[in-house]
Chain A
Amino acid sequence: MFRHVARWLVSSLVMLFAITALTFVLASMAPGDAARAILSSESGSYTAQQYQQMRHALGIDQPLLVQYWHWLDGVAHGSLGTDLFSGQPVTQELNARLAPSLSLILGTVLVAGVAGVSLGIISALRGGVLGRAVDVISLLGFAIPSFWLALALAELLAVKIRAFPATGYTPLGASPAGWLRGITLPVLTLSAGAVAFTAKQTRDSMAEVMSREFIVMLRARGLSRRSVVLRHALRNAAIPVVTVLGLLLVALLGGTVLIEDVFAIPGLGQQAVTAAGSHDLPVIVGVAFYFTVIVVIANLLVDLSYRVLNPRVHGS
């Protein structure tokens, strides 16, 4: 167990390292830079000298490798640098945006885990009307574009009926009810696809397990269908399903970028879009860092649940 955690730690560090480095390279390839963006937002026109001074002040006149080294040095001291525009520490800015994003992501994983897995099992085991209905629901959830659904839901439930706020986010600490109302529409929007995806994968996994020889043998030994399905088939089908939930969480990091934009939720995704537009490198890399940490933790959870679910992993 200790060795396992140590290995996870090492691979996580490698991952953080690789992804932030990659982000540095990609971001530096983008035309334009932060100095230009700041100067033109401040006064509109500026001299070449002002521009060079600004670049120097921001530290972006140095070679990329040096910039990355400084950044790493900062990380070692618990700092992700400062937002080039607001001058605030990046960690402080992103920490404030963590809760809204996590609310959306975890809310959606929860909905997908409960509704998607149940629908998937039902659809794998039942033919007939119920199975068909599940198929149709998951097909619709899968096919409807999230931004379209966001528009439709907002128009219907926020503008016409006014049941939920169309935009904005209320912190959980400020008002739990407000928080719930605020994240309902974005979570609903994200859940359509997530539930469909989870249901489909659960169904495939369940159907595959149900076709295996040991299921026939379990029935031959006289076990009830209930036990065969809920104890044995589900346990074996759970292994790929857990992977799917992990992948879903990663996919949702991307999904929130779009949905936070539509519903004006002040989360990490919205910050990423703004920062990408204004070449705010510390913020871009910071968001990538935060996202990677979330992914790494999700991976650890998936890995640990493998160990519980799949005995063949114990030994290796």
Chain B
Amino acid sequence: MTAVSPPSAALSDQQAAPDAVHGGRGRALRDLARRPLALAAVGWLLLVVVSAASASVLAHGGPETEDLAHVLSGPGAAHWLGTDRLGRDVLSRLMFGGQVTLIGVAEALVVFAGLGVTLGLVAGFASGWPGRLIARVGDLVLALPAIIVLLMVLSVFPGNELATMIALGVISCPMLLRVVRGSTLALRGELYIKAARLSGLTGLRIVRRHVLPRLAGPVIVQLSLFAAAAVLIQGALSFLGLSTPETQGPSWGNMLGEASVVISQDPWLLVPTGCALALTVMALGLVGDAVRDVTAGRHLGPPQQRGARRAARPASCQKAMQPTGSLLSVQGLTVAFNGGHRDITVVRDVSFDLAPGEALGIVGESGCGKTVTARSLLGLLPAGGHVTAGSALFAGLDLAAASERDFSRIRGQMIALISQDPMSGLDPSFRVGSQLAEVIRCHSALTRGQARARAAELLGMVNLPEPQDTLSRYPHELSGGMAQRVSIALALAGSPRLLIADEPTTALDVTVQAEILVLLRELRERLGMAIILVTHDWGVLADLCDRAIVMYAGEVVEAASVAEIYASPRHPYTEGLLAANPHLAPVADMLPAIPGSVPPPSAWPDGCHFHPRCRYATKECASRSIPLTAPASGRLTRCIHPDKMAGAS
């Protein structure tokens, strides 16, 4: 089994780029602070807490002080929110009532969170019957109608708020248990947890390092939902006079109960208390939402926005500019992500040409912009990513400025993509056959039956021994190698002229890796399909490619034929990569031959991006940006000392 990187290191270039993903806790807090609604919600909750805590100091008169001369007075100078049917000040009662609400919710929340998270983790990690038993009992408790249990608890402990709230926490905790167990089970099944298991991490460490961080989002959402529900249930019980009845002093619920008696004479009374309740529930929901959005981070934003951004950029291209004989011509391609107030450039000024049927490698460590470059050619940048300059001419179309509609003609039938993790690239809910047939029919006018036959044919082309059997399988029933063959078949379905293979073998076993490479080489020869191979493995590169570009920190630092690069690298970074390991380790956090690591896009140094790690660096390297130059015919390097390299002749 190949070593599999932990989630943070597994972030491929495209994900490492927008630093919203990267952010630590400070970053998350700043993100939170940028949301006015969430801030308002926190503000409201603080206001409720402070006013409830200081009710006895701040409130205008006691909550029970009756002013029979001003009954149902409505809001005014003396009573800001009016008075009730006994002339008691509504604002004062609201502040005192807030205490009941807050204490009750806190009690319920502690029980809910403590029980739910603990039991959920245990149930998720205990394989076999103990886990199932906990889940079953949880389901059982959930099936108890909560209100009936609460009614019974209240008849045992009449009017007792604490007992009611503890009971509420207990009978609701299976909700949280379910969510925690579900996420834990899902995580447990994921590849990296399996790997962590195999590499001997203890259970507790797996929980702390891999599970809890991923659980934080869903748990916080559940907590906020439950707190909100607790406010409502407590209000309802008090409204019915069952817990905290009128005789025990004001609560928001019993104030509404009072108001309902005089609803026809004075509907206003419904407003202040109703608003207090609704705003508190709403604030809890908003805070949960905001935390969830910030921790969950990225999801595909609405496409229109990205389309608009792309269109807004002045089109710098002319169709005539594409060199004759080239399939794809990329010039000065620059990609940025919205990073809060300003764009952060993650790929800068990338240029290369690709002939029909040619295989070009893009090499570099994680975080150098390889995947972003590749995906920008398909208009599939993650949310917030957009091309800010340059062009990518393909079949007379500038991919850097293309619309969604343009891409619909390109994707699949002109340019196809296969990715690093074939399993997560397949829709888990559909059989292989149905996914293949859908793509085939999307690119042709075949009937269902014809598409089915074509699907089997494609599976044969990728050397899957029993196509019919594979067609009827679901993705989870495939091995990693089979899944990659299926995704290659899916990529071939539209007979593309260019295949972008993004680390196609990284997640596979070594023997399977070799088979997939053989297959790709064979397909390239047979179909005359060009290939762009994104990789950090020199062995894979040498196997498949004629030419390579080396990328470092968002820039192309060297371009040459693979043979030339091997023989005599003309950039210190290339030299370091080669020296580090001809077959780079899959996790290339640190290269033994090069000190330091790839800087994130927000921290690119001035001048040559590589100079802080370079052993040949001079003052000049830091003082100006270094252009690509040609040290020899057909070669390019972004280094002003190409002759210092050991292999240089």
Contacts and interface: CB of A to CB of B under 8 A. Distances in A.
Nearest to B476: A312
Interface in B442-490: 442-443, 474, 476-477, 487, 490
A222 B145 contact: no
Contacts of A152: 270, 274
A29 B156 contact: yes
A180 to B, nearest CB: 25
A145 B235 contact: yes
Pairs of residues from A and B, 8 with the lowest C-beta to C-beta distance, nearest first = A222-B412, A211-B299, A143-B282, A254-B147, A220-B417, A217-B425, A143-B281, A311-B474
B274 A287 contact: no
Interface string A223-251: 11101000110011000000000010011
Interface stretch (B50-58, B427-435, B612-620): B427-435
Interface string B171-183: 0000100000000
A222 B491 CA distance: 10
Interface stretch (A59-67, A74-82, A106-114, A120-128): A120-128
B442 A222 contact: yes
A301 interface: no
Interface in A104-156: 125-128, 131, 139-140, 142-148, 151-152, 155
A215 interface: yes
B439 A223 contact: yes
B563 interface: no
A214 interface: yes
Interface string B407-421: 010111100110101
A211 B300 contact: yes
B590 interface: no
Interface in B385-430: 404, 408, 410-413, 416-417, 419, 421, 424-430
A19 B144 contact: yes
A125 B383 CA distance: 13
Contact of A210 (B267, B274, B300, B421): B300
Given A30-B152, A225-B404, A311 B476 contact: yes
A109 to B, nearest CB: 16
A34 interface: no
B11 interface: no
Interface in B138-175: 139-140, 142-149, 151-153, 155-156, 175
Interface stretch (B301-309, B327-335, B554-562): B301-309
Interface in A261-316: 261, 269, 272-273, 276-277, 279, 284, 287-288, 291-292, 295-296, 299, 309-312, 314-315
A148 B277 contact: yes
A309 B429 contact: yes
B527 interface: no
Contact of B264 (A155, A200, A223, A250): A155
A301 to B, nearest CB: 14
B626 interface: no
A235 to B, nearest CB: 5
Contacts of A208: 296, 299
B143 A292 contact: yes
B257 to A, nearest CB: 9
Nearest to A288: B148
Interface in B277-291: 277-279, 281-282, 285-286
Nearest to A25: B152
Contacts of B274: 144-145, 148, 152
A142 B302 contact: no
A31 interface: yes
A215 B300 contact: yes
Contacts of A273: 151
B156 A31 contact: yes
B302 A128 contact: yes
B39 to A, nearest CB: 16
B240 interface: yes
B282 A142 contact: yes
A222 B298 CA distance: 22
Given A235-B430, A284-B152, 11 more contacts: A15-B143, A23-B152, A143-B228, A143-B279, A147-B256, A217-B417, A231-B438, A236-B427, A247-B175, A261-B240, A276-B151
A11 B279 CA distance: 41
Given A208-B299, A220-B378, A236 B428 contact: yes
Given A31-B156, A204-B292, A210-B299, A144 B278 contact: yes
Given A217-B419, A221-B411, A222-B412, A31 B155 contact: yes
A247 B404 contact: no
Best-surrounded residue of B228, B277, B278 (most CB of chain A within 10 A):
B278
A157 interface: no
A108 to B, nearest CB: 15
A258 B256 contact: no
Contact of B302 (A22, A127, A212, A227): A127
Contacts of A56: none
Best-surrounded residue of B151, B263, B285, B305 (most CB of chain A within 10 A):
B151
B636 interface: no
Contact of A145 (B146, B277, B378, B404): B277
B464 to A, nearest CB: 18
Contacts of A257: 145, 147-148, 151
